[in-house]
């Protein structure tokens, strides 16, 4: 199986850690909030057999730097574009999970010339509903409560973080394991600040406040695949169903026994679905005149 390397470089004075491997048409895998590129480990080697696969740790996450700065979707998209340029990757299929789905859509919107296809996995930015756990981060006192949840004594005392998340309704299995691991990664002040700034840029106490729904018609000429777990407790699968109806010619893959991390619950099915989608579709070719016509038609002009 193709070896995937862990490397890093400095961009704009900040360390960026990433996983990379393989040869062929590029796939960029973008993780969710409080996650890291390691979340893709179960699928990276197989995807790298036929593709160049790049999976960065977003700034503020994993082993990348955690500066005081901009943690908006636009800033993340620009950072991935810069990483692609630095590595000589001109175009890619963008695959985004959760927060990463919002980043992937922003990438496609800001830099359409770099987009081959768009794959949204349990994606944010397609509806208002989101789990209470993330809405609570919008509260003013969140910064003061979080250290109690991720403090070293608690993380080493019988899985207190996992127990807390279980009380919030997360089932045992991949969801609980991944999210507990994400919380446990927030042990230092810089990581917690980055997490809070990121969450508050897209979520408030009422739910998700950043939505791409009013622009989905622009994806009419972009090959788009949506993948969701039917039992997703974080972002409901109905967001995927509704988005599939609004994006012309898009595909929807529902994993009946999966939650928020379908690529971990059933990695082989995920690889098969993504590989078939890439093989059966042509890369996007976004035409500026066509884009203009779409915008003006929607504006009634």
Any idea which residues carry the catalytic annotation? 98, 232, 260
CA angle, 25 then 30 then 32, to 5°:
160
β-strand pairing of 92-97 with 224-229? unpaired
């Amino acid at each position: 199986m193709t070896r995937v390397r862990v490397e890093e470089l400095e961009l704009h004075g900040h360390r960026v850690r990433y996983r990379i491997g393989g040869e062929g048409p590029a796939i960029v895998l973008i993780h969710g909030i409080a996650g890291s590129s390691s979340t893709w480990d179960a699928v990276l080697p197989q995807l790298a057999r036929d593709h160049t696969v790049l999976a960065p740790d977003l700034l503020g996450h994993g082993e990348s730097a955690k500066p005081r700065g901009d943690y908006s979707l636009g800033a993340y998209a620009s950072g991935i574009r810069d990483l692609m340029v630095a590595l000589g990757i001109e175009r890619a299929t963008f695959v985004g999970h959760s927060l990463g789905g919002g980043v992937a859509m922003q990438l496609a919107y800001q830099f359409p010339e770099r987009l081959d296809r768009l794959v949204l996995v349990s994606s944010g930015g397609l509806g208002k509903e989101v789990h209470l756990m993330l809405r609570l981060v919008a509260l003013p006192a969140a910064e003061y409560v979080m250290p109690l949840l991720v403090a070293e004594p608690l993380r080493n005392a019988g899985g207190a973080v996992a127990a807390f998340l279980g009380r919030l309704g997360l089932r045992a299995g991949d969801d609980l394991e991944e999210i507990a691991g994400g919380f446990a990664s927030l042990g230092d002040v810089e990581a917690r600040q980055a997490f809070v700034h990121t969450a508050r840029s897209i979520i408030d106490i009422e739910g998700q406040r950043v939505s791409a729904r009013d622009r989905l018609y622009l994806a009419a000429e972009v090959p788009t695949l949506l993948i969701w777990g039917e039992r997703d407790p974080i972002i409901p699968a109905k967001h995927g169903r509704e988005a599939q109806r609004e994006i012309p010619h898009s595909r929807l893959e529902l994993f009946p026994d999966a939650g928020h991390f379908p690529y971990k619950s059933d990695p082989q099915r995920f690889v098969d679905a993504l590989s078939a989608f890439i093989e059966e579709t042509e890369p996007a070719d976004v035409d500026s005149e066509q884009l203009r016509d779409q915008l003006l038609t929607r504006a009634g002009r």
